[in-house]
Amino acid sequence: MYARMRQEEVHRMMQRLARATKDSGMVDLSSAFFELTLSITMRMVAGKREHLSEDEKLEEAKKLREIIKASNLLNTNIPDYVPLLRWTGRRGKLLKVLEDLQSQREGFMQSLLEERRKILSEVGDLNQEETNIKCIIDVFLSLQQNEPEFYTDDMINGMVQMMIVGGSETTAILMEWVLSLLLNHPNVVKKAYQEIQNHIGGSNRLIDEFDLNHLPYLQAIIDETLRLYPSPAILSHHVASKDCTVGGYNIPRGTFLIVNLEAIQTDPKLWDEPTTFKPERFLNVEKKDFGFSYLPFGYGRRACPAEVLGMKVMGLAFGSLIQCFDWDRVSEKLLDMKLSEGGEFNMPRVTPLLAKCKIRPEMANHLF
Ligand code: HEM
């Protein structure tokens, strides 16, 4: 579902990068990736992308970005982990900030709901409209008509918040890590490019989502990045639903549990050369065979509901970036791969990601 829309948005990003690289040869990937993932999420959830147009003057666009950034920043509440701090004033201050943020988020999402409600009342069933497709809010609103006590505005508002806030920055940050690793490992880019060439052949068309199943090495690059740089790096907000034992420790029911994904996925007892970027380790294996050693989308009932979507967006974006551009670092030095220590839940890079790229001449006619 929404495959054509994802293709359009990736193509739009590629065209923007092509224009930027013609001017300066240098591109700001942090902005490009955030814009891509936000556009895709907004179109899918709310049926529009204009929040995210290049025209950053739009007040709403700025507001949405601020909400997403603040949500991810505030997701890690230190007093939840160090109960002693609950007795200090910090908790009270934080609660106030969270209340303000929540009221902004609710207001913003409610305006999206009202907008779709108005459109639906004007045009009727969007499925009949060839130019418009149903977005997720439309689906919720039509369910609301049959079960209003369950699909309340509050419930829909909460779901929409989770999708927009959870879906955009996480994927964008991961994309920054994928490209950072690629810039530091040009031999990996070469192999991925060869794989794309072998499958598609020549320059007659751009890669699409149907190609992804035939590109295992590209897929392995993304899997290996998710191992080394999981975003989020910790799974928090879990509570033991019954008494249990973990690693020999007795955990009473109700205990707040934190899973340190980064530590598990780079544990030398579980992984060979744990900190080395080796996409090959994901070739010819079933990911489920790694069991609890590899959980970049969480596990069980509260696992990420959008794993397939996230993997498709990243696969399509990186397949296209490798197919159409030659990549290089801005300096000879390897990129700094340190995680941000700013306490951010999603573990972004310390510095924004800049790179040099050149359009592969044979692909230029697809981008201009
Ligand atoms: C490659 C990109 C993504 C990664 C690596 C990722 C990873 C995760 C992880 C680790 C969790 C927490 C699981 C847990 O605590 O056990 C999660 C939850 C969630 N993710 Fe994603 N995610 C990605 C993309 C997305 C997208 C695109 C969306 C929506 C459009 C999304 C929506 C959600 C939601 C709604 C939850 C909360 C689920 C719940 O609490 O029941 N994610 N994600």
297 lines ligand 1 (CB under 6 A): yes
Model ipTM?
A: 0.98
Q: Would you call 23 helix, strand, or coil by DSSP?
A: helix
For ligand 1, atom 27, name the residue with the nearest CA. 167
Q: How far is residue 311's CA from residue 95's CA, in Å, rounded to a whole number? A: 34
**How far is ligand 1, taken at its centre, from the CA of residue 168, in Å?**
10
With beta carbons less than 8 A apart as the criterion, state whether 160 and 141 touch.
no
**How far is ligand 1, taken at its centre, from the CA of residue 171, in Å?**
9
Q: What is the pLDDT of residues 295-350, one digit of tens each?
A: 999 998 889 999 999 999 999 999 999 999 999 999 999 988 876 555 566 777 87
Which residues of the chain are under the pLDDT cut of 50? 52, 56-57, 128-131
17, 6, 4, 102: which is closest to 323 by C-alpha?
A: 17
pLDDT of residue 76: 62
pLDDT of residue 129: 46
If one residue of 40, 170, 347 were mutated to test the ligand 1 pocket, choosing by the most ligand atoms within 8 A of its CB, it would be: 170
303 lines ligand 1 (CB under 6 A): yes
Q: How far is CA 33 from CA 50, 218, 328, in A?
A: 16, 18, 17
Give the tokens for residue 42: 């907004």
235 lines ligand 1 (CB under 6 A): yes
**How far is ligand 1, taken at its centre, from the CA of residue 10, in Å?**
21
Q: What is the reported pTM?
A: 0.90
Q: How far is CA 117 from CA 39, 121, 142, 220, in A?
A: 21, 6, 10, 42
Q: Which residue is associated with the tokens 């510095």?
A: 351
**How far is ligand 1, taken at its centre, from the CA of residue 163, in Å?**
8
171 lines ligand 1 (CB under 6 A): yes
